[in-house]
A and B are shown apart, each in its own frame.
Chain A
Amino acid sequence: MRKVHAFLLIIIHKVIMYPFLRVFIGMEVQRNQSLFLGKYIIVSNHSSHTDTSAILSILPLSKIHKLRPVAAQDYFTKNKLFKIFTQLFYNAIFIDRVTKDGKQNSINIMAQTIDRGDNLLIFPEGSRVSSDKVGPFKSGVIKILKEKPEIPYIPIYIDSSANTLPKGDGLLIPHNFKVVIGDAKFIDPKMNDEESLKKIRDSVVSLASL
């Protein structure tokens, strides 16, 4: 069953989505070998639903079924059909971003996913951001990275994808956007949370000028 799902994900993202995004929507990619590493957590800014598809479609073939985008439970499981859609086509895991117990449980869910050998895709802004600037990062990403300090994180900066499918609008229109992939980095366990979070955010923001 897992193999069938992996095959389905590869067909959707590599065969259908990648050419569609590249030729029709106008995605440009600045590649980096870091995505070929064994295990990692991808940390990216988030302004559009296009982002998840873009990141999944540029992964190496052997990594597509291993990436689990971390999705908000309150948004994606509102509708049963929508939930099945995100699970089936995006292989997402759902976390509770609202209640306090739920937040602690979320870290466990993410840690278990990594223990199973999967990679995570985290949008630390917590939600899609409407302005062109990268918003403040939430602390969950630090907690999971501190729990698994042997796993590197890969910063990805996505430029102007909001023009293709902005928040609060269901119409997808073509518009060039750029995906910049950074080098894999480790966090320093001795640093405090605030500084580490700033460092992670800076590593994403610094890709904007590339």
Chain B
Amino acid sequence: MIPFLIFPNEITFLLICYFFALLFFTLIFVPLNKLKPSNLTKNLKERVFSWWIIFICYLIFLGINKEISFIGFCLCSFIAHRELISNLSFPIESRRIVLWSYLAIPVQYYIAYTGKLIPFLVFLPLGMLFLISLRNILEDKPEFSLKVFTELYWSLMLTTFTISHIPYILNLPTSPAEQNAPQALIFFLIFITASNDIFQYTFGKLFGRKKVFPQTSPNKTLAGIIGGVVGSLALAYLFKDIMPLSLKQTLLLGAIISLSGFLGDMNISSLKRNLNVKDMSNFIPGHGGVLDRLDSLCFSSIAFFYTIYSWIYA
């Protein structure tokens, strides 16, 4: 339906709906921010803007071909890993070990691209456990061992291992009747994770009183979390026709994405409080870094992937 893009028809329909919804909100909030500038309208405008980025990235990463999907997500992981590493201030002596961690990212995505499940699952958790230690020994600078082991390894797990599960969904075997299933699953994952943030924000602003974790993130309220789950359930119900699962399973997935997305968000928030930074970087000027946008997806992708894997393939 859309020229040059390869989305199945039912997803194209939903994407067009999203496009008009975004256009609608842009036409409301951008003039509103001009007429009556306040913190709230500025925040809303920024959220609409980051939604455009998510939307356009989604079209490019998933609408052209499989190779572009893997390269696109690889680039996201790479930038997120770089943001984290830059904030953790590694000593200059260990820069060659850091280089190895960068090199592991394309390798992981290449393995994901070939679609072999065991190497895909083993390379980062075990392969890099071995390789980071090896490079550290070759460097012969034992005073930085613990920092290198823990921080590089954790950063790779958080930014690369998790995100690489999203394009890997394209490699899951499907029966001819369910050719469009991988595309539908990724659509479901990304759009519910991103919408969940909006639901949490809106419900939190409207009804939020009781703060859940005030030290980690002062904006998260109980009403926000419940609103996020309810909103995600509603969206999952709307998307039920494109999913290769039963209605009960689809709804459960919506709730799982909502809660794990919240956890991922809080995870990065607590890290940012600890490092005393507002955003991980300024990659998108005025809108923070890539990791600030991917925070929920880091955890929701894992929860989503293993849930559907256990239902469909186990």
Contacts and interface: CB of A to CB of B under 8 A. Distances in A.
Contacts of A160: 86
A175 B86 contact: yes
B92 A176 contact: no
B147 to A, nearest CB: 15
A11 interface: no
B82 interface: yes
B71 interface: no
Contacts of B86: 26, 160, 163, 175-177
Interface string A8-26: 0000000000000001001
B144 interface: no
B281 A176 contact: yes
Contact of B82 (A162, A166, A169, A175): A175
B169 interface: no
A88 B162 CA distance: 45
Contact of B79 (A23, A163, A173): A23
Contacts of A29: 285
B281 A163 contact: no
B92 A173 contact: no
A163 B282 CA distance: 17
B283 A28 contact: yes
A171 interface: yes
A189 interface: no
Interface string B77-111: 01100110111000010011011001000000000
A157 B281 CA distance: 17
Interface string B261-285: 0000000000000000000011101
B92 A166 contact: yes
Interface string A161-205: 011001001010111111000000000000000000000000000
A51 B98 CA distance: 21
A178 B282 CA distance: 9
A176 B83 contact: yes
Given A26-B281, A28-B282, A28-B283, A176 B82 contact: yes
B92 A26 contact: no
Interface string A23-36: 10010110000000
Nearest to B98: A173
A160 B87 CA distance: 11
Nearest to B78: A174
B92 A163 contact: yes
A59 to B, nearest CB: 17
Given A23-B79, A176-B86, A171 B283 contact: no
A175 B92 contact: no
Nearest to B92: A166
Contacts of B99: 171, 173
B46 to A, nearest CB: 18
A162 B92 contact: yes
A173 B95 contact: yes
Nearest to A166: B92
Contact of B102 (A169, A174, A178): A174
Interface in A15-65: 23, 26, 28-29
Contacts of A163: 86, 92, 95
Closest 8 CB pairs of A and B: A176-B86, A28-B282, A174-B82, A173-B99, A176-B281, A175-B86, A26-B82, A173-B95
Interface of A: 23, 26, 28-29, 160, 162-163, 166, 169, 171, 173-178
Interface of B: 75, 78-79, 82-83, 85-87, 92, 95-96, 98-99, 102, 281-283, 285
11 contacts: A23-B79, A26-B86, A28-B282, A28-B283, A28-B285, A160-B86, A162-B92, A163-B86, A175-B86, A176-B87, A176-B281
